[in-house]
Amino acid sequence: MGMTMTQKILAAHAGADHVQAGQLLLADLDRVLGNDITSPVAIRAFEGLGIKQVFHRDKVVMVMDHFVPNKDIKAAEQCKMCRDFCGQQDVTHFYDVGRMGIEHALLPEQGLVTAGDLVIGADSHTCTYGALGAFSTGVGSTDMACGMATGKAWFKVPAAIKVILTGKLRRYVSGKDVILHLIGQIGVDGALYRSLEFTGEGMHTLSISDRLCIANMAIEAGAKNGIFAVDDLTLAYLKEHGAAEPHIYEADPDAEYEQTIEIDLSQIEPTVAFPHLPENAKTFDAVEKIPVDQVVIGSCTNGRLEDLRAAAEIMAGRQCAKGVRVIVIPATQQIYLDAMAEGLLKIFIESGAVVSTPTCGPCLGGYMGILAKGERAITTTNRNFVGRMGHPESEVYLASPATAAASALTGLITSPWEVMEQ
pLDDT by residue (tens digit) across 196-216? Answer: 999 999 999 999 999 999 999
* Identical topology for domains 5-265 and 273-421: yes
- In the CATH scheme, what is the homologous superfamily, with its name and number, of domain 5-265? Aconitase, domain 3 (3.30.499.10)
Q: What is the mean pLDDT of residues 296-311?
A: 97
CA angle 333, 304, 218 (to 5 degrees): 125
Q: Which residues sit opposite 282 in a β-bridge?
A: 272
The predicted structure's pLDDT at residue 296: 98
> Does position 21 have pLDDT exceeding 90, yes or no?
yes
User: Residue 8: CB partners within 8 Å, gap ≥ 6?
Assistant: 249, 250, 251
CATH code, residues 273-421:
3.30.499.10
CA distances from 384 to 71, 272, 322, 381 (A): 22, 11, 24, 8
The predicted structure's pLDDT at residue 308: 98
Peptide bond before residue 181 is cis, with ω within 30 degrees of 0: no
pLDDT by residue (tens digit) across 22-70? Answer: 999 999 999 999 999 999 999 999 999 999 999 999 999 999 999 999 9
Closest by CA position to 189, among listed 300, 281, 277: 277
Contact indicator for 322, 411 with CB cutoff of 8 Å: yes
Q: What is the DSSP letter of 235?
A: H
Q: Is 166 exposed, middle or buried (0-12, 13-18, 19+ CB in 10 A)?
A: middle
The predicted structure's pLDDT at residue 289: 86
Closest by CA position to 327, among listed 302, 337, 343, 342: 302
Q: How many Å apart are CA 226 and CA 197, to the nearest integer?
A: 6
pLDDT by residue (tens digit) across 352-366? Answer: 999 999 999 999 999
Closest by CA position to 268, among listed 151, 385, 388, 400: 400
Domain boundaries, the chain: 5-265, 273-421
CA angle 149, 153, 156 (to 5 degrees): 165
Contact indicator for 176, 301 with CB cutoff of 8 Å: yes
pLDDT by residue (tens digit) across 386-418? Answer: 899 999 999 999 999 999 999 999 999 999 999
The predicted structure's pLDDT at residue 1: 80
